[in-house]
Amino acid sequence: MNNKYTTIIGLEVHIEPNTNSKMFCSCPQDHFGKQANTQTCPICLGLPGALPFANSQAIEKTIKLGLALGSKISKKSIFYRKHYFYSDLPKSFQTSQKDNPFCVGGELLSKKIDHIHLEEDAGKLIHQVVDGKKVSLIDFNRSGCALIELVTKPVFNEIDEVLSFLRELQLIARYLNISNADMEKGTMRLEANISLSKDGQLPNYKVELKNINSFRFLEKALKAEIKRQSEALDKGLKLEQETRGYDETTQTTFSQRTKSGSDDYRYFPEADLPPIETSDEDIKRIQGSIPELPNEKRIRFKTQYNISKDFIEILVSDPSRASYFEEAAKFDNNYKLIANLMVNKKMDSEFREPAGLIKKIKEIETTEFATPNDVETAVSSVILENPDIVTSYKNGKGQVIGFLIGQAQKKLQGKANPKELNDILLKFLNK
Ligand SMILES: [Zn+2]
């Protein structure tokens, strides 16, 4: 890729929270794999006279995410009607937010967040052939489901930064238990806005990449789009505001919709929903329910257990494995061995309880390591064979200890438990 241009990327991330019911009615929120159109009611179908009511669980989860990311929480939040022709939303408007979203600002991995708002999802179009005819069917199970939308500032310059941000956000959503944020199940969905700049300033167009269904797909789509835009700029062409999709077979992006100006959504406040007020007590209570977040855990694991960065990353990426590790670490201080057996040998899936893993570790230690007796014999003969080295240790040359450990390990064919060998050697030297 050339570096004549600065890449500028902003993200819109949709997260379906794991609430019991939809955003404005009591139909189930979980629609994955359910028979089409079995989870609807007059409210989510937008039938005349139906009155929506806001789901407080979804609001709390949105605020929880905002607090975890350092957003400012709006004391008064308003829902708006966003008008547009949505073929998959029967009301012909979407209940969303505009001014006063629940969370304003915030930051993740030093990348600024614009805001986080709450809205309702649309239904799903299914394109099929029925009786030899191409038809579009519609499933309204997802229509009206709660959807948290996080919008970043246009602050990304590298694809890697985008991917790290999204992976961390996904992990935080899981730690907070607001969503599984699973791209395959559609509980996390992405859109990226991308433009190239000649002078580092934000240009007057952006291309919106839509329908991104995996991180790998996003990476490829961004690469293809950067290539397309820089080639166009090289030729002196003017780029325009549009929505594009990515075709994996040709590895190129294709135009889906050109936007001449900004869409006129004719937003106006949803009169059927009162403004939502959030008190200081609410904020304090939600703040109190936020667990230790991944990055805090990484830092603590490093200082508390001193295990390698790779092990920490793998353990922290799964909250249940992280707590399994900590349970096991209460029984045995050979943290590296515990982490190694979990990460490289997957022994945590073999033993459902950490106690089982520890029992196994004790077995390994006694069968695979030399006995304390053998270690003592080896250490005492090394000390007898190296009187000069022992003297220099006693004169303050602490670094010679490495040599003595090496000699003792050699005698034991490397089978000494390092910590035990170290302890026994020190005991002999300090006699
Ligand atoms: Zn409903």
Classify residue 186 as exposed, middle or buried by CB count within 10 Å of its CB (0-12, 13-18, 19+).
Answer: middle
**Both tokens assigned to 394:** 């006693």
pLDDT score at 361 = 79
What are the pLDDT digits (tens) for 104-149?
999 999 999 999 999 999 999 999 999 999 999 999 999 999 999 9
Q: What is the pLDDT of residues 33-82, one digit of tens each?
A: 999 999 999 999 989 889 999 999 999 999 999 999 999 999 999 999 99
Q: Parallel, antiparallel, or unpaired for β 268-269 and 188-197?
A: unpaired
Which amino acid, 218? L
SS3 for 423? helix
Q: What is the DSSP code string of 86-139?
A: -TT-TTSEEEE--SS-SEE--EETTEEEEEEEEEE---EEEEEEETTEEEEEEE
- For ligand 1, the distance from its centroid to the CA atom of residue 100, given in whole angstroms, is 25
More confident residue, 71 or 92: 71
Give the pairing of strands 111-120 and 188-197: unpaired
Which residue matches tokens 């220099």? 392
85 CA distance to ligand 1 middle (Å): 20
Say what percent of the chain tops pLDDT 90.
Answer: 70
Question: Span 376-402, mean pLDDT?
Answer: 89
pLDDT band at 261 (very low <50, low <70, confident <90, very high): low
DSSP code per residue over 11-54? EEEEE----SB-SSSSSBS--TTPPTT-S--TTTTT-TT-----
Cα of 58 from ligand 1 centre, angstroms: 15
pLDDT of residue 374: 87
Across 169-178, 194-203, 245-254, 261-270, the highest mean pLDDT is recorded for: 169-178
pLDDT at residue 88, rounded to an integer? 85
Distance in Å, CA 48 to ligand 1 centroid: 13
- Judged against a pLDDT cut of 60, whether residue 388 lies above it is answered with yes
Give 93 Cα–ligand 1 centroid separation in angstroms. Answer: 16
Strands (DSSP E) found in 198-298? 207-212, 242-247, 252-258, 268-269, 276-277
pLDDT grade for 365, boundaries at 50, 70 and 90: low
Please tell me the least confidently modeled range out of 85-89, 147-151, 273-277, 322-326. Answer: 85-89
Number of Cβ within 10 Å of residue 10's Cβ equals 22
What distance in angstroms lies between residue 147's CA and the mean position of ligand 1's atoms?
Answer: 14
